[in-house]
Amino acid sequence: MSDKIELGKAKRLKGEIIPPPDKSISHRAVILSSLANGKSRIKNFLMAEDTMSTLNAFKKLGVEIEEVRSQSPSATRRGGKSEVSPPTHPSPSRGEGKGGGELIIHSKGLHGLKEPEDIIDCGNSGTTIRLLSGILSGNPFLSILSGDDSLRKRPMGRVIKPLSLMGAGVFARDDDRYPPIAIKGKKLKAIRYEMPVASAQVKSAILLAGLYADGETEVIEPMKSRDHTERMMPSYGAELTVEGLGIKIKGGCELKACDMVVPGDFSSAAFFIIAALLVPDSEILIKNVGINPTRTGLLEVLKKAGTDIELINVRDVSGEQVADIHCRGTIGLRGMNITKEHIPALIDEFPILCIAATQANGITSIRGAEELRVKESDRIRAMVEGLRKMGVEVEEFNDGLNIKGPAKLKGAAIESFGDHRIAMAFSVAALLAHGKTTIKGISAVNISFPGFYNMLKMLTKN
């Protein structure tokens, strides 16, 4: 089956959607439930490629995980009957992601994991490989973690360094830089670690290793990154305190099973938020979206740029704030100035923010974002290349770019570089362009958002 899609200009987007469950929270729910003694139930777990990598890893480590049922991300026409149900859209070659499911996890606790018989394949998932490295550092057996071509190019020194300071036996290819990672778990000692980069994955790896360490481990971030790990850990019985940018965790206490519900993913919703703002005459209600402030920097930036996005029905779900997001087509978006302090809270929204910038009046500048060079693809390069093909004036810097708007987009052949967020961002750009746009490598969307094209098709139906 062909791994590309051709999309054209959309007249408007209308309807209600429920985005897929949050990817970061789904990873952490499987991880913590697999380490917490007893039976945990996770509702609305993301059944997509990345989170299945984590789920399969824990199965290989001997944890019993039941997949009770799965549903799909859904969309309905406003004022009409439900039209879209299970994603029938082909998931070309990337497997079987299905949206939200329910898991029951039976765990023997922190010390109940067993040595895997083979290499653990983390697929495309940086969260899986880095968080698992933290856990396996404290488990007395050999494990080897690897992944796909993209993951094997991503920097691992950032987790190997602090884990080695804790006493772990962790090694990687090219002088401890890149996967595969080989870990011989040991008795760990607590450390106080000031992180050089703001990274929730590194922070979480250290906190998870801290569960196995003697004494109290402290990690200090340079800027606040997503805080799902520290929000969730106490519900499983971990002794953890947060003070400003510092987090302390006590080693040696047993975790206990916990039930939780995963909210919808703001990062997936973001593609439709921007699509609704940019396609004239659109109106979309996006229901059940997590609005944790460490994730919603995009909303702050868009507000400053003059958009009118309404959060309604704000509520609490398993310790995370959730809302329905109402967005409408907006005219007169202003250029944006995004600097280093903004980046952690909108790190995954960079590709779609670049698409918004093409329609804003004036220059949008995004700087201090060099981390984007080491994501699933080099996202600065991928966006510069695709935007230029669509006729946008762009200036590239090592740590970001300038985009000149408003631009008249023209249809082009775009490469996703196997990166889910690049594929989805340019699919939204295609809705604004004159002529047809072909996006290659769309199976990547199954990493975080199976059913993305189904939802888009449904909302653009006139």
Question: Which amino acids are annotated catalytic?
Answer: 348
The residue type at 316 = D
Q: Between 225 and 307, name the residue whose CB sits nearer to ligand S3P.
A: 225
| Both tokens assigned to 189 | 């000692």
Q: Which of 52, 61, 172, 200 binds ligand S3P (CB under 6 A)?
A: 200
Stretch that binds ligand S3P, among 182-190, 195-203, 251-259, 426-434 (CB under 6 A): 195-203
Cis amide prior to 406 (ω within 30 degrees):
yes
**Least distance CB 331 / ligand S3P (angstroms):** 31
Could you count the other beta carbons within 10 Å of the beta carbon of residue 187? 12
Q: Which of 19, 24, 249, 412 binds ligand S3P (CB under 6 A)?
A: 24
Q: Between 218 and 227, name the residue whose CB sits nearer to ligand S3P.
A: 227
**Least distance CB 310 / ligand S3P (angstroms):** 26
Taking residues 62 to 101 in sequence order and writing x for each that binds ligand S3P by CB under 6 A, - otherwise, the string is ----------------------------------------
Residue 139 DSSP class: S
Q: Between 225 and 377, name the residue whose CB sits nearer to ligand S3P.
A: 225
Stretch that binds ligand S3P, among 51-59, 193-201, 238-246, 361-369 (CB under 6 A): 193-201
454 is a site residue for ligand S3P (CB under 6 A): no
Q: How many residues bind ligand S3P (CB under 6 A)?
A: 13
Instruction: With beta carbons less than 8 A apart as the criterion, state whether 400 and 366 touch.
Output: yes
320 is a site residue for ligand S3P (CB under 6 A): no
Instruction: With beta carbons less than 8 A apart as the criterion, state whether 355 and 383 touch.
Output: no
**Least distance CB 455 / ligand S3P (angstroms):** 20
348 is a site residue for ligand S3P (CB under 6 A): yes
Could you count the other beta carbons within 10 Å of the beta carbon of residue 177? 14
**Least distance CB 298 / ligand S3P (angstroms):** 13
Q: Between 7 and 55, name the residue whose CB sits nearer to ligand S3P.
A: 55
Q: Between 74 and 127, name the residue whose CB sits nearer to ligand S3P.
A: 127
347 is a site residue for ligand S3P (CB under 6 A): yes
201 is a site residue for ligand S3P (CB under 6 A): yes
Stretch that binds ligand S3P, among 198-206, 211-219, 232-240, 349-357 (CB under 6 A): 198-206
Cis amide prior to 180 (ω within 30 degrees):
yes
Q: Between 225 and 268, name the residue whose CB sits nearer to ligand S3P.
A: 225
What string of DSSP letters covers 138-201? Answer: TSSSEEEEE--TTGGGS--HHHHHHHHHTT-EEEEHHHHTEEEEEEE---EE--EEE-SS--HH
Residue 46 CA to residue 452 CA, distance in Å, equals 13
Residue 380 CA to residue 359 CA, distance in Å, equals 18
Buried b (16+ CB within 10 A) or exposed e, 98-133: bbbbbbbbbbbebebbeebeeebbbbbbbbbbbbbb
| Both tokens assigned to 108 | 């023997």
Stretch that binds ligand S3P, among 2-10, 181-189, 197-205, 362-370 (CB under 6 A): 197-205
- Give the 3-state secondary structure of residue 17: strand
**Least distance CB 368 / ligand S3P (angstroms):** 13
| Both tokens assigned to 60 | 């290989």
332, with CB counted inside 10 A (0-12, 13-18, 19+), is exposed
**Least distance CB 372 / ligand S3P (angstroms):** 9
Residue 280 CA to residue 251 CA, distance in Å, equals 54
Q: Which of 199, 364, 416, 446 binds ligand S3P (CB under 6 A)?
A: 199
Q: Between 103 and 412, name the residue whose CB sits nearer to ligand S3P.
A: 103
Partners of 290 in beta bridges: 322
Q: Token pair 């201090």 is at which residue?
A: 368
Taking residues 213 to 232 in sequence order and writing x for each that binds ligand S3P by CB under 6 A, - otherwise, the string is ------------xx------
Q: Between 14 and 28, name the residue whose CB sits nearer to ligand S3P.
A: 28
Q: Between 25 and 433, name the residue whose CB sits nearer to ligand S3P.
A: 25
Closest C-alpha among 169, 161, 171 to residue 188:
169
188 is a site residue for ligand S3P (CB under 6 A): no
Q: Which of 37, 51, 127, 268 binds ligand S3P (CB under 6 A)?
A: 127
**Least distance CB 50 / ligand S3P (angstroms):** 9
| 359-398 positions binding ligand S3P, by CB under 6 A | 371
The CA–CA distances, whole Å, from 169 to 48, 140, 193, 199 equal 31, 10, 18, 22
- Strands 337-338 and 394-397 come out as unpaired
Q: Starting at the earlier edge strand, list the strands of the sheet with 413-415.
A: 4-7, 437-440, 413-415
* Footprint of ligand S3P (CB under 6 A): 24, 27, 126-127, 199-201, 204, 225-226, 347-348, 371
